[in-house]
């Protein structure tokens, strides 16, 4: 479904025209909405400051906005005073983190995305069945650290690429299963899974795909617009996995694509030779930043907007009970 916006053109406007295709769905997903609301409600219930372990979501604008309301972001729990509430980020945490919080009798609220929590529960079940988990993800990403921290050391192995599969030491007699990070490239992950299943026909797949609906939907929306664009801009943070994947999706379709955090990063020379520009935002980027980019582009060009919608999202996640009672 295409939803056109009116053009700002006038007959004697010196600015050249720019057709802007805006992908939908884009921006905040249900897990991000929930995580931000958890911090805001914690501030309302407990008062400032509320500590947050790691960035609640990977977006500097969002983090700075919450800081202004009284949130204090820290890397580890040893930076949190004993009498202060603390929120765990949407990416999830290893089991050792809530265990430490309970040992210190800290008041904590877990903002882990429910779809990430689902992967954590699957990991526990697979270990209970005696399976060794091959976990597809990006080393060092908070979600990967959190998921791998759900199971005992030595019972989960990280797989990042198809090439990694070739070096795995397991045999077809080993009891294996696999899980994936929720924010991966749909196409890349499919290739890795196919390589795992070819090498280990006995490997047990999760009951449902672990890549979350929002990641899949945003990648599909970019695929829809990229082929008709000269350039695609993706609003997101450099440490945002799902945002980086959107850039890759556009580039794989042969379209130039750039990741930006704010409109101020756009350089006029990028628009040279660009008649049609695609715009989307990662799952941690608010719609306000999309409008900021449109306004910036309008400084240089007469922008005609068209929203290209590939699916409607209606997912909503419940808040933790401790914030609703």
Instruction: Specify the CATH number for the domain of residue 267.
Output: 3.40.1010.20
Quote the number of domains for the chain.
3
- Domain identity same for 92 and 21: no
Residue at 315 is within a domain: no
3-class SS at 128?
helix
- Domain identity same for 21 and 62: no
Name 325's Cβ contacts closer than 8 Å, sequence gap at least 6. Answer: none
Residue identified by tokens 């006029």 is 268
- Domain identity same for 205 and 220: no
Contact predicate 22/281, CB 8 Å: no
Contact predicate 239/286, CB 8 Å: no
**CA max distance for the chain:** 74
201/306 Cα distance (integer angstroms) = 46
Per-residue model confidence (pLDDT) at position 209: 85
Per-residue model confidence (pLDDT) at position 7: 45
- Domain identity same for 243 and 278: yes
Name 173's Cβ contacts closer than 8 Å, sequence gap at least 6. Answer: none
- Domain identity same for 131 and 202: yes
Is 96 marked as a binding-site residue?
no
- Domain identity same for 133 and 89: no
Boundary (domain end) residue, out of 195, 210, 225: 210
- Domain identity same for 177 and 127: yes
Is 141 marked as a binding-site residue?
yes
- Domain identity same for 139 and 100: no
Residues with a known catalytic role: 143
List the domain range (segments joined by +) for residue 272.
2-28+213-309
Is 58 marked as a binding-site residue?
yes
Is 241 marked as a binding-site residue?
yes
Q: What is the mean pLDDT of each run of 10 residues along the chain (325 residues)?
A: 45 89 98 98 97 96 98 97 96 97 96 97 97 98 97 97 98 98 96 98 93 96 98 97 97 98 97 98 98 98 98 96 91
Residue at 320 is within a domain: no
E strand or H helix at 276, and its extent?
A: strand 276-281
- Domain identity same for 171 and 101: no
- Domain identity same for 106 and 124: no
Residue at 316 is within a domain: no
CA distance readout (Å), 52 to 108, 129, 238, 319: 9, 34, 20, 16
Per-residue model confidence (pLDDT) at position 11: 59
Contact predicate 214/29, CB 8 Å: yes
- Domain identity same for 184 and 254: no
Residue at 224 is within a domain: yes
Per-residue model confidence (pLDDT) at position 3: 44
Boundary (domain end) residue, out of 190, 210, 230: 210
Boundary (domain end) residue, out of 77, 110, 143: 110
For 157-163, which contacts have Cβ atoms below 8 Å and span 24 or more sequence positions?
Answer: 157/132, 157/133, 159/134, 159/135, 159/192, 159/196, 160/136, 161/192, 162/191, 162/192, 162/195
Is 113 marked as a binding-site residue?
yes
């Amino acid at each position: 479904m295409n939803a056109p916006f009116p053009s700002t053109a006038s007959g004697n406007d010196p600015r050249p025209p720019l057709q802007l295709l805006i992908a939908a769905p884009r921006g905040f997903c249900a897990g991000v909405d929930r995580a931000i609301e958890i911090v805001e409600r914690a501030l309302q219930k407990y008062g400032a400051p509320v500590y947050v372990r790691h960035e609640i979501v990977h977006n500097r604008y969002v983090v700075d906005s919450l800081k202004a309301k009284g949130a204090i972001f820290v890397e580890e729990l040893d930076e949190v005073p004993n009498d202060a509430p603390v929120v765990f980020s949407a990416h999830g945490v290893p089991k050792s983190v809530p265990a430490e919080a309970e040992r210190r009798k800290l008041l904590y609220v877990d903002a882990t995305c429910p779809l990430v929590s689902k992967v954590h529960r699957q990991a526990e079940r697979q270990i209970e069945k005696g399976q060794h988990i091959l976990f597809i993800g990006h080393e060092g990403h908070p979600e990967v650290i959190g998921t791998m921290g759900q199971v005992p050391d030595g019972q989960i192995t990280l797989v990042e690429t198809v090439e990694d599969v070739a070096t795995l030491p397991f045999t077809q007699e080993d009891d294996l299963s696999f899980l994936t990070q929720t924010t991966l490239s749909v196409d890349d992950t499919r290739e890795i899974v196919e390589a795992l299943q070819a090498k280990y026909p006995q490997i047990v797949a999760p009951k449902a795909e672990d890549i979350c609906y929002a990641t899949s939907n945003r990648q599909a929306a970019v695929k829809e617009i990229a082929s008709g664009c000269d350039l695609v801009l993706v609003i997101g943070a450099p440490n945002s996995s799902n945002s980086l994947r959107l850039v890759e999706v556009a580039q794989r379709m042969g379209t130039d694509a750039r990741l930006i955090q704010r409109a101020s990063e756009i350089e006029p020379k990028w628009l040279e030779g660009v008649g049609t520009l695609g715009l989307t935002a990662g799952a941690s980027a608010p719609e306000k930043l999309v409008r900021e980019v449109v306004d910036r582009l309008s400084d240089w060009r007469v922008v005609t907007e068209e929203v290209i919608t590939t699916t409607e999202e209606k997912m909503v996640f419940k808040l933790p009970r401790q914030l609703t009672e």
